[in-house]
Amino acid sequence: MMMGVAVVLIDVPALESLTRYSCCGTPFSAIVFRAHLRRKPLYYVINLLVPSILFSVLTLISLTLQPGCAERIALGL
């Protein structure tokens, strides 16, 4: 089952437990759900790693231009 772009929902097991307290005669139930998710690594590479590398390369290229050059400012924007 697809949950979103970054993760895939693998399994959702449920565990029910009944607890009796000394103050009450009826048992109380609690249900615990555990969601097993798997991350998609390509999502992080495309959306985080690639823009960071491109921004670093652009910064290094702009530093190689002369300080008084107007294109240095335009390239950095």
Structural domain count of the chain: 2
* pTM confidence score: 0.48
- Say yes or no: 54 and 71 in one domain: yes
| Domain co-membership, 2 together with 35 | yes
Q: Answer yes or no: are the C-beta atoms of 20 and 27 closer than 8 Å.
A: yes
Tens digit of each residue's pLDDT, the chain (77 residues)? 455 567 888 999 999 999 888 888 888 999 999 999 988 888 778 888 889 999 898 888 888 877 777 777 676 66
Domain span at 68 = 40-77
Contact (Cβ atoms closer than 8 angstroms) between residue 40 and residue 8: yes
pLDDT in tens, 20-31: 888 888 889 999
26/47 same-domain check? no
SS3 content of the chain, % helix, strand, coil (to 5): 40, 30, 30
